[in-house]
A and B are shown apart, each in its own frame.
Chain A
Amino acid sequence: MESNKIETILEKYFRGETSIAEENELRDYFSSPNVSSNLEQYKSVFGYLAMAKEQKFEQEIVLKSRKRNLAWLSIAASVAVLLGIGTYSYFNYYNTNKDQDLGTYDDPEIAFRETQKALSMLSSHLNTGIESVQYVQEYENSKNLIFKQQ
């Protein structure tokens, strides 16, 4: 790179008008062995800037956990409160709603008949189950009778 061209860019640099690409050109030039003598004084500046970018943060990041616990405590507390209020109000809401509603039928007679049907179905199924228990019991009883006789 010619020193004239470099000097032009350098002038732009001190006016704050260079692009990053141009600044990189300067860096490249000044890190090369062919720096002209009148520009020597700038060598270390650009060298320094490049070096400065290499510095790293070596520490382990300490993410404080105790602070978090305090935050969680307040969150947990408010959750508990919300739960309490929420549950209460929902139960309330649901119960009041329930009371207003009669169901699928408006006429008590029809409702009665349908309920009767449902209950009788339930009842017969229930009895089927109980029957089997009952039969087992019957068997037990007869079994005992037979054995007792012997």
Chain B
Amino acid sequence: MKKFLITVVAALVSNAFFAQSAFDKYDGQDDVTSIIVNKKMFQMMGSVKVDANDKETQQYLDLMKKLDNLKVFTTTSTRVSADMKLSADKYIKTAGLEELMRVNDGGKNVRIMVKSGATDSQVKELLMFIEGANKENQTVLMSLTGNFDLSEISVLTDKMKIPGGDDLKKATKGK
């Protein structure tokens, strides 16, 4: 019994550690392309000078100032893809992420999960998982943490597509 208890303690303690580093194992793996940007880097970016006319870049920068951590892992290996799916599912459960949307677009399976912050539209954490992204069956796992608004993300690419910004706001809030 004592052994069991010690294992439980170890598991729970390591779980706390696990929380943010669930996907770190993919960093450095052969079949995985990883992009990791930490808070310190985001802070450094704040000092990057931007052309006043370049509103787009400014939008990106403004959002990045609100980010803590970005992790993107991409792989075409089926083994890693399966592993990523498992890790993601497990992480979603333990971290208490809610599904925001699921899009199935021509073989591409996109899931976006969020953890709300202070208000409904504020997001503390976002996880995007894409299966079968290209012809090569690419899997993408993206984790984004910080304190930002979904509309701030949406606005980055929205200029071309959707008519009527008001409806957009409505849709964002109505998640």
Q: Which residues of A contact B (CB under 8 A)?
A: 72, 75, 79, 82-83, 86-87, 90-91, 93-94, 98-105, 108-109, 111-112, 114-116, 118-134, 137-138
Whole-angstrom CA separation of A122 from B41 in the bound complex: 20
B1-34 with Cβ < 8 A to chain A? 1-2, 5, 8-9, 12-14, 16-17, 20-21, 27, 34
Q: A105-B37, A112-B64, A119-B156 are in contact. Are A126 and B112 (CB under 8 A)?
A: yes
B116 at the interface (CB under 8 A from A): no
Distance of B17 from chain A, by nearest CB (Å): 4
* Residues of B in contact, count (CB < 8 Å): 64
Q: A94-B21, A130-B172 are in contact. Are A125 and B112 (CB under 8 A)?
A: yes
Q: Identify the interface centre among B9, B21, B170: most chain A CB within 10 Å of its CB.
A: B9
* Sample (23) of A-B pairs whose CB atoms are under 8 Å apart: A91-B16, A98-B20, A100-B40, A102-B37, A103-B35, A103-B70, A104-B37, A108-B47, A108-B48, A109-B48, A114-B37, A115-B35, A115-B42, A115-B60, A118-B35, A119-B64, A119-B153, A125-B110, A127-B154, A127-B157, A129-B112, A130-B154, A134-B164
Is the beta-carbon distance between A122 and B64 smaller than 8 angstroms?
no
Is the beta-carbon distance between A99 and B40 smaller than 8 angstroms?
yes
Q: Identify the interface centre among A72, A118, A137: most chain B CB within 10 Å of its CB.
A: A118
* In the complex, chain A residues whose CB is within 8 Å of the CB of B1: 72
Is the beta-carbon distance between A130 and B171 smaller than 8 angstroms?
yes
* In the complex, chain A residues whose CB is within 8 Å of the CB of B40: 99-102
A128 closest partner in B (C-beta): B103
* In the complex, chain B residues whose CB is within 8 Å of the CB of A130: 101, 154, 162, 168, 171-172
Is the beta-carbon distance between A94 and B20 smaller than 8 angstroms?
yes
Distance of A128 from chain B, by nearest CB (Å): 5
Q: A103-B37, A118-B70, A126-B150 are in contact. Are A108 and B172 (CB under 8 A)?
A: no
Is the beta-carbon distance between A129 and B41 smaller than 8 angstroms?
no
